Structure 1
Amino acid sequence: MKARNSVGSSDGLPARHVDAFLDRLRAARYSEVTLGKKRRVLAAFSLWMKSQNIDLAHLDESDAALFMKRLSNAPAPRVQFELAVLRLFLVYLRNEGIVHLPSVNCQSAVADIHDRYVDYLRQERGLAKNSVLVYGPFIRDFLDCQDVGNGTVLPDAFDAVTIRNHLLARSRGRSGEYMRLMTVSLRSFCHFLFLRGYTPHDLYESVPTVRKCRQSSVPTFLTPEQEEVIIASTDRSTPRGRRDYAILLLLARLGLRAGEIVALELGDIRWRSGELVIHGKGRMVEHVPLLSDVGEALASYLQTDRGTSASRRVFLRMWAPRVGLTGPAAIGHIVRLAFVRADFRPACRGAAHLFRHGLATMMIRSGASMAEIAEVLRHRSQDSTAIYAKVAFEELRGVARSWPTTGGA
């Protein structure tokens, strides 16, 4: 049974808690209009708490769900907004110790193994966040399929035949790239199981690999002319435009990855030495030169538009809460909007990476060596750089033999 106020009638939500919560959001740069809407939601929730005699100390998500039932016929945006307000308010109350933390049930074996595997990827393998987000769901899906029904793993779950059967069952109608990522994830998981003592032998080799022809295609890239049109499409008279302009320059001039831009912090900009500290793949920390136009764009955004924030990230969201961008997908979204403004429609995915390919292509056509390109792009393997040799089409034509003609002439 849900806890009620045992002393007497409920007082609902004390005004001091609501005011303190809204002040916290105000500091995070929420607008007064938005704060007014949130206050009205909390006022209605407070009246409902009084009518239901709900004890504030035991408030939880089930109360919010009951309160939301009154909006069964309301538009979806209103429902989503009010529910988000209540969830955020609950987090605040728990962090302040006003509301009891929810009781935590014993974690199932499936969830425990999954969490241990994710920790292994982060702590021991040093995988980037994006890689963990790729591997994790594949393994969670596998573990869910081995669940007895109560969170316990089947006795033969970690068996070579079971793993292969799972792979075959999931292969129907899937692309080659999807299957390649699944097999890589399962092979990694098998190695983890062996290292942690779940299996007596490493089943790594029992997972079949998916063939992928390396260097089989020419990388899609942006020409210098296309890059300049795309960069010029940003409206630099607006805060958003100045932020996006700086991001596009980091992509085009320095060939940074989307994740590296998201992770960039204020302390990573070394103004005196004229360099940026980049936190790259595999926890690599590297230094790249801060070019003059990139530095000017960053300085303009930081001085005029970024504003104050508890976040140390260089690039912040335009809307409250004013925190760092959520991830590489946010950079991709910014790039795709620039493509639309420039009326550019690439026939491939990975919008932000096209700038990186463009930089490498420009360098090789200017006579740069593979080693120089690898240094600029910060490749750890020469194989990653070798594919750019294909974009020097004119040079390749020079070494190609003529097509034989009739009569051998």
Structure 2
Amino acid sequence: MGRDQVTRRAVVGGLSGLAAAGASGAFAQALPAPSQPVTLNIIDVAGQLQLTQAGIDRFRAQNPKLVSRINFQRAPSPELPGKLKAQQDAGRVDIDLVLTGPGAMSDGVQQGLWIEVWSKYPDGLPKAADTYHEQALMMQRNFGRDQGVAVVYSPSGPVFEYHANKVKTVPKTAADLLAWVKQNPNRFTYARPVNSGPGWTFLMAMPYILGDRDPKDPMKGWDKTWSWLKELDDGIDYYPAGTAVTMKELGEGTRDIIVSTCGWDINPRALGIVPKEVEVFALEGTRWVPDTQFMCIPKGVPNDKVAVLLQLMSFMLKPEQQALTYDKGYFYPGPAVKGVTLAMAPQESQDVIREYGRPIYDKLIAELPVEVPLAPDRLVAAFRRWDQEVGARKSKQ
């Protein structure tokens, strides 16, 4: 395994980091329950409600003395950090909980937007090492740190979906894909990485696939990747703002190949957005770049709400709620905690994954190495550089 692949040594390092964070618990502030039920304002910038809203609604129903109402809203991930920072600077935060992927999570860590829940309230959450499975614990350590709480996990991607009746010779290597895109202009695309799970896994996987000098350094170590992406750009007409558009275009037949992930492959086919018969491939040299979504409490949220949110976060890490995250394959497999199997999921989830899941995913999950994604500051730098050098002329909001 490579030096940055997920290993037990890396996880042990993560455990020690979390233990160090928890050591400050003696100084943590104890939070009393609210005197009356609170209204929670939750914003989703990662499509996470599809996986977690049922569990969140269940918490509200079971805790009427804590929560009177929950308001849900959705927004694009790139817009959230600036909006939240403006509220915090004005001393008027009206967002109580953020459901986010690594993009806004990383921006928030860099800008100091989140409460350090693991270190400030160590008794308010379950012990991470006892709760998360190995890969989710790695993501908690590298992205959630002591601020976000990992709630769902997927080995993610990248994989490529394609119409088998249109793509007669399936690309096997990065060179093959580049040649195909040049020979078939405007028949391939991927979404802007900062706002797309498939987009960001693709961006981080290409340095491994291309054999770049330092896959962990997008500014100094990705010479082959930036060159390849710019050459690929010659055959791409535009980059959609989000993944859903790429799925729609694949389903309509205006694209023959798109970048995808396990969940984005399974779920749109189950929903009828993409034809069931669409196939997938992975390039030679592919490494899994895992994806995780988090729950984050912004700084400035009142203590009575923080007390309730800590209970909600703990509730969402219980096996009963984790089993709901199998959903319709949207973030396959989904659970971030140990010991949650498909047999524990609702029957509808089991049926969907049985019909639309792919045996090849179990094979690839077992065979392909898993890489630690870029650290938050380097991920933000990679997004910025992609926006400036690759997507600037062709991205659509």
- RCO higher in 1 or 2 (8 Å CA, sep ≥ 6)? 2
TM-score (norm 2): 0.25
TM-score (norm 1): 0.24
Q: Please state which structure has a larger fraction of its residues in strand.
A: 2
> Bigger radius of gyration, 1 or 2?
1
Q: Please state which structure has a larger fraction of its residues in helix.
A: 1
